[in-house]
Copies of this chain bind each other. A is one copy, B any other.
Amino acid sequence: MPTLRCEPIRQWEIRMNIGEIARRAGVSRSTVSYALSGRRSVSAATKQRIQAVIDEVGYRPNAAARALKEGRTRTLGLVVPPASLRLTDTQLEFVASVVEAAARADLDVLLSPSGGDHDRSFERLISGRRVDGVILMEIRLEDERVTLLQQAGLPFVTIGRTAHPEGTFWVDVDYAALVARCVHHLADLGHREIALINRSAELAATGYGPAHRAQTAFTEAVRQRGATGIDLPCADDPAAGEECFAQLRERHPEITGIVTINEAALPGLQRGIERAGVAVPRELSVAGVAAAHLAERFRPRLTAADVPALTMGAHAVELLQERIAAPENPVRHLLLAPPISLRDSTAPAPLPRT
């Protein structure tokens, strides 16, 4: 008489590994492997039989076993700033485009928040052989993560670059060139008093490249054109943008042109301008560097160099794949300087009041 214990029967849950496929197809495991990889010839009939079994049971090779044997994981690591810092739209587009580009290349993406107190996550990433390569965002001029990756001998590509980027793979936006271009554009329109609304003072203090390079290029470009320039740091949020503009109007009412690389502050900047009743572009011209959709969203539409964030992620993935496949290849960089899209926020400088 059977006992009352009613263990759930899980017969159909036998593990589907390559051996089981081989058994059902009546071949050896190596034949299944070769049939799938095509690295040795397998007769059409056998191949078909194996494929039929695979389709029937929905088999897929175990990723861990394959990674162990092949020595690669088909996975990329993406190191993102911790969530506590709110990401800018451009940064988000980087992340999204990296993920999509990786998916297109049949690669998975492992996310790791770096900085803050999540160093364990970063350590796991680089020393547990969990990934074949790493994409690093938000690079500082001196960045210890770069050093750690170099020591670990793990291929990596940075979005942004350090102070001495010669030996590494990177993709970056040429903020210096773009800011200079904005200054020249305004100067060409007759503006003589120009302000730069930069990223936050904290970022600059921690050695954030774009903030430094933008400032240097701004100062230089303004000097070249014999204009006068004001450099204003501004926190990455709308409220700060509004505040920043208010201060600018109060302390430097002579300003007729603004260059901004702080896209998070744009909504606030716009609001500040509207509240002050300043007419753009008649009384004040604004040019900048920003994600295209933010430039389009500004009123009036912002004349700006559109940061090609969506393609940059794809480029980074591409470079990383090359680096992984051919570690001895010479380093490659990509410094992007998209043209300025002329929209509605810049115009000839107003005539000086007499």
Binding site for B on A (CB under 8 A): 13, 58, 60-65, 67-68, 73, 75, 78, 80, 82-83, 86-87, 92-93, 96-97, 99-100, 103-104, 106, 108-113, 118, 120-121, 123-125, 127-130, 153, 238-239, 267, 271, 274, 293, 297, 299, 310
Contacts and interface: CB of A to CB of B under 8 A. Distances in A.
A228 to B, nearest CB: 33
Contacts of A60: 123-124, 127-128
A63 B130 contact: yes
A64 B62 CA distance: 10
B82 A100 contact: yes
Contacts of A239: 297
A120 B108 contact: no
Residue among A75, A78, A110, A121 with most chain B CB within 10 A = A121
Contact of A129 (B63, B274, B299): B63
A130 B108 contact: yes
Contacts of A92: 87, 92
Contact of A113 (B67, B103, B124, B128): B103
A73 B64 contact: yes
Contact of A97 (B58, B83, B86, B127): B83
A117 to B, nearest CB: 9
Contact of A103 (B87, B120, B127): B120
A233 to B, nearest CB: 21
Contact of A64 (B82, B87, B96, B129): B129
B110 A75 contact: yes
A161 to B, nearest CB: 24
B108 A110 contact: yes
B100 A108 contact: no
A205 B121 CA distance: 40
A271 B113 CA distance: 35
Contacts of A128: 60-63
B113 A111 contact: no
A91 to B, nearest CB: 11
A196 B29 CA distance: 61
Nearest to A124: B108
A104 B64 CA distance: 23
24 contacts: A13-B153, A58-B127, A60-B123, A62-B128, A63-B129, A64-B65, A64-B67, A64-B68, A65-B68, A67-B67, A68-B68, A83-B100, A92-B92, A103-B112, A103-B118, A104-B118, A106-B120, A106-B124, A108-B111, A108-B112, A109-B110, A109-B111, A238-B297, A274-B274
A78 B129 CA distance: 21
Contacts of A299: 271
Contacts of A78: 111
A131 to B, nearest CB: 9
Residue among A61, A87, A124 with most chain B CB within 10 A = A124
